[in-house]
Structure 1
Amino acid sequence: MPAFPDDTGDLARRLVRVPEGSPAAVVAARLLDLITSGELAAGTRLPPERQLATTLEVGRSAVREALTALEVLGVVDVRPGSGTYLRGSLSELLPQTLSWGMLIGRRSTTELIEVRGALEIYSARLAAERMPEDAVARLGAHLARMRASADDPPAFVDADLAFHHELAASVDNTVLLDLLQIIRSLLRVWADRAVEDPTEISRAVEEHAAVHDAIAARDGDRAASAMAAHMLTAGRRLAATVAADTA
């Protein structure tokens, strides 16, 4: 596993002294700034408590509390006798830290649904222009799996996610892909329960089929329109689920 750099390079210099009297939360925030910079690989071992306390000029108890908080957030993995390790990549960590920070309320979720819709529509347009033929074939396979899972909502949701991931992954834009993955992760607690009615599942299948057919025909306008129609109904279903949970 990679070890945290222990030289005097940029990463070390970013761990500056914490202002006097700051609580463990400030230590956690400083560590999060570094961790979410994207410069550390998954599995990187962080410096030991003693070194962090010396660098940040705080007590070891503050460092210990901060690391405990980050472990609860799912950002780090504390292994007694071994050390503290970064759990995942930036795109995997952000949904966890953001979801705890936001504890997504109704307003935040509504805004996320709107942003997701815009990104999915743009992604569909790009896919019609850029998606390789083998990816179009895989998109069709995901659609077929959705049809076959009409009586199995959990399997349908998995196929639905695979369809959207395939579409976004094919447009050669990692920022777009990461943003969609983050938003989907934040919304998944509700999305998994938003499509359970057989009529809604059947409608969702046909909406996805329209997107697939437009992409296969290399018609960007039609792909965007088909995805917009799908996002409208999917967004309404998701918003209704959220409203029921937060009422």
Structure 2
Amino acid sequence: MPAFRDDDPIRVELELKALPRGSAVADVARQMTSLIAQGTFPAGSRLPPERQLAESLGVGRSAVREALAALEILGLVTVRPGSGTYIRDSTSELLPTTLSWGLMLSGEHTAQLSEVRSALEVGSAVLAAQRIDADGVQELRAHLEAMESHTGDLGAFIEADAAFHLQVARAAGNGVMGDLLQTVRSLLRVWVERGLRSQDQALTACREHRAVYEAIAAGDAAAAGAAMDAHMRTAGDRVEHAETPAGAAVEAVAAPAARTVSAPRKGGRAAKLAR
């Protein structure tokens, strides 16, 4: 797999241009998106670490971190803990589409996406209550217990939360609904994470998830839908009040790029250098 080696700063400098001092997160995200669109960073390649990117661009590491979060929202990169940030496979084919989706991530449209997510989550809960089997109930309970045991570790809590909702979608037995839900959840991921800020909020979420679990386990579709709807209202309020520079960067990158971006060149200059 191609990679930008940590000990090859000259190559990184060739690809990245220093930005004016005080540049916004959106400026960093725009340059990175442009390089991805041009094929400079080929699919599957690993980006340099935040420190090296920050030095090459002449910006702070926090700006790089938020810019990469914006690109992850758009589906252009994936972050692998302990390994690094990688350009997503098939980015060339998906880039115009993901940027068009990114246009929706302004304040108003984020709220609308939350409404879409709510409808899908409630529908999944109703179907799950009707279709879940004993093994599915056991898995759902395990994810709930993982949430309840990690209210003091918000990172682990968020992972268990996502696993709970994924299990509900699986139990619903509707692949199309599950795929749509995954797409919307991915677009809202950063807002969801930034909106959960305290153990008290995590405890509230646990109570709401337990109500969903108990209704699904009992096979009560109406109660499952009502419990999930109540949870989505709380979650929607958190998303609405979550502020993140990555969100502004997504909108700034997507608006102009979705109109002008073309598929990356295969075998571009960076790909040749990586051989």
In angstroms, what is the RMSD of aligned CA positions?
3.2
Deviation per CA, 1:51-109, whole angstroms, max 9, x where unpaired? xxxxxxxxxxxxx9655599687669xxxxxxxx98159xxx68981476416111110
2:120 aligned with 1:119? yes
2:170 aligned with 1:165? no
Map 1:58-73 → 2, pairs under 5 A: 67=39
Within 1, Cα distance between the matches of 2:192 and 2:107?
14
Q: 1:97 to 1:243 in 2, by over 3 A?
A: closer
SS of aligned partner of 1:213: helix
* Aligned equivalent of 2:16: none
Within 2, Cα distance between the matches of 1:94 and 1:227?
33
Q: Which amino acid aligns with 1:215?
A: I
Greater than 2 Å deviation, 4+ residue runs: 64-76, 93-96, 98-101, 242-246
Within 2, Cα distance between the matches of 1:113 and 1:95?
23
SS of aligned partner of 2:160: helix
Percent of pairs with identical residues: 44
* Aligned equivalent of 1:87: 89
TM normalised by structure 1 equals: 0.62
* Aligned equivalent of 1:206: 207
Within 2, Cα distance between the matches of 1:207 and 1:184?
18
- How far the C-alpha of 1:177 sits from its partner, in A, is 0.5
Within 1, Cα distance between the matches of 2:112 and 2:153?
29
Q: Which amino acid aligns with 1:237?
A: R
Within 2, Cα distance between the matches of 1:70 and 1:171?
37
Question: What residue ranges of structure 1 are gaps of 5+ in the alignment?
Answer: 1-63, 77-84
- In terms of Rg, which structure is larger? 1
TM normalised by structure 2 equals: 0.56
SS of aligned partner of 1:151: coil
Assess if the C-alpha contact under 8 Å between 1:95 and 1:182 holds in 2.
no
Relative contact order, higher structure (CA 8 A, sep 6+)? 2
* Aligned equivalent of 1:189: 190
When the two structures are aligned, how many residues end up with a matched partner? 172
- How far the C-alpha of 1:198 sits from its partner, in A, is 1.5
Question: What residue ranges of structure 2 are gaps of 5+ in the alignment?
Answer: 1-35, 44-70, 78-86, 249-275
Q: 1:241 to 1:99 in 2, by over 3 A?
A: farther
